[in-house]
Amino acid sequence: MLEPDFVLLRQRPDDHGQPEGSLVRGITCGSMERGPKARGPGRRGAIRALLCLLLCLLGSGHALAAPVEFTDMAGRQVRLTDTPKRIALGDGRLLTAFALVTPEPVARVIASTDNLKRYDPMTYDAYLAKFPALADVTDLGPPSADLSAEGLLSVAPDLVLLPLWLHSDRNSEETLTAAGVPVAYVDFFSDPVAGLPGALRVIGAVLERRKQAEAYLAFVERHMEVIRQRLADAGPKRPKVFLHARSAEWDCCWSATGKVGEIIAFAGGENIASGMMGGQTGQLSLEFVLGADPDVYIAAASSGASRPGDFPIGEGVAAADVQAAMKAIRSEPALGTLTAVTKGNGHALWLFFFQSPTYVIAIEAMAKWFHPELFADIDPARTLAEINATYLAVPMTGTFFADMEPAARP
């Protein structure tokens, strides 16, 4: 008599976000006749036994592991034998990019550099509040050329994600690769606009969330195309713009150029720092800024104001605190005399937009500041709300951009 045994299989989650589930297959694994007259399994029995073996291997996850293949930001072809489960981040801010494509951004992260916690503590605290397991992620210290390959190996990662600027110093990559640990390069700072698709596709690949990554990229491109096309059609005069990176630790006047500064150009402005410094960021003299007398002034800073002189903006910051800081700029003996400030064309912007896949919010805000009539219908607050509702696992809550309130009339 035949007695069918049911085999329970585990279905692994796929790239489209389908959850892990169970599949039951009625395969008669123990289906040979029993008793004194029982014969050998024969041809059919042998085939049945082979099928049972294959199904059991599939169910236990020991066979047919799907390889993961992608091209990283350094142009390297990366092939992983299976989906990574223990990822080490050479740039802690990548966690916020993970949150755009997966509802569990912390689940596979076992180690991270400390730059998210150190420089954007309020965002870190928001993630910690929703995902307490973040407290158990190993702290790798600051992201630098001194990032220890030995420290990375000690946490036994199956993938290490490094910022692109570390590609020039490949000591960590070579040590990790020699130890059998795959490395991929990804960041959102080296080229925020053009680099976004490649960077987010790497993350979509390693997290098995390619479909979600493509959905977000399509969303960004729809918004970017509106800015791009209107500027091309109208050809407006570009206002001179000074993006002022403010911090209590820095003297005046730090700004951005290169690929980071191109965000200003994309939004329809003329960056006064363009061509004035060698790297992505650098310091302009106060005399140069006063002489350029920009049409638009933008105070850019990170969240919080933990030290006297810090400019508060970002996660968890109230709009009133941002306005109070902007009002104080009017009283500064030098910057307060800029035409942009005296005429009320001063603004504030979250500095970390320039290394985040959410930079489209900054571009929309700047486009309105530079060309208010041309982009009267653009609403960066609505774009932020849509990103929060549709994509981010941890919504951005706080003040991320603001306009300087007009000075009170005497």
Report the amino acid identity of residue 28.
Answer: T
**What pLDDT sits at residue 396?**
97
Strands (E), 81-236: 87-89, 109-112, 138-139, 159-162, 183-185
Do the beta carbons of residue 179 and residue 105 sit within 8 Å?
Answer: no
194 is written with which tokens?
A: 């053009």
Q: Give the C-alpha separation, 189 to 93, whole Å.
A: 10
Residue with the two structure tokens 């035949």: 2
Q: Give the C-alpha separation, 328 to 221, whole Å.
A: 37
**What's the DSSP call for residue 165?**
G
**Residues 6 or more apart whose Cβ sits within 8 Å of residue 44:** none
**What pLDDT sits at residue 174?**
87
Q: Give the C-alpha separation, 375 to 365, whole Å.
A: 9
Q: 356 in the Ramachandran plot: left (φ > 0), alpha (ψ -120 to 50) or beta? A: beta
- List, in sequence order, every residue forming a beta bridge with 69; answer none if it has no partner: 79
**What's the DSSP call for residue 13?**
P
Locate all alpha helices (DSSP H) within 207-285, ordered by sequence.
210-234, 258-266
- List, in sequence order, every residue forming a beta bridge with 307; answer none if it has no partner: none
| DSSP H or E segment with residue 245 | strand 240-245
Radius of gyration of the chain (CA): 27
**What pLDDT sits at residue 172?**
80
| DSSP H or E segment with residue 202 | helix 196-206
Other C-beta atoms closer than 10 Å to the C-beta of 359 total 21
| Cα 404 from chain centroid (whole Å) | 28
Rounded alpha-carbon distances, angstroms, from residue 209 to 17, 19, 148, 297, 391: 7, 12, 29, 39, 12
Q: Give the C-alpha separation, 62 to 358, whole Å.
A: 39
Q: Is 361 exposed, middle or buried (0-12, 13-18, 19+ CB in 10 A)?
A: buried
**What pLDDT sits at residue 190?**
85
Q: Nearest to residue 49, comparing CAs of 26, 31, 61, 23?
A: 31
Residue with the two structure tokens 């006749």: 33
Report the amino acid identity of residue 21.
Answer: G
Q: Give the C-alpha separation, 161 to 222, whole Å.
A: 28
One digit per residue, pLDDT tens: the chain, 410 residues?
444 443 333 344 443 333 334 333 344 444 434 444 444 445 555 555 555 554 454 444 444 557 899 999 999 999 999 999 999 999 999 999 999 999 999 999 999 999 999 989 999 999 999 999 999 999 999 887 667 788 889 999 999 999 988 776 777 888 899 999 999 999 898 888 999 999 999 999 999 999 999 999 999 999 999 999 999 999 999 999 999 998 766 788 999 888 888 899 999 999 999 988 777 888 999 999 999 999 999 999 986 555 666 889 999 999 999 999 999 998 888 999 999 999 999 999 999 998 899 999 999 999 999 999 999 999 999 999 999 999 999 999 999 999 998 765 55
∠125-398-383 over CA atoms, to 5°? 115
**Distance between first and last Cα of the chain:** 101
**What pLDDT sits at residue 69?**
94
Do the beta carbons of residue 256 and residue 354 sit within 8 Å?
Answer: yes
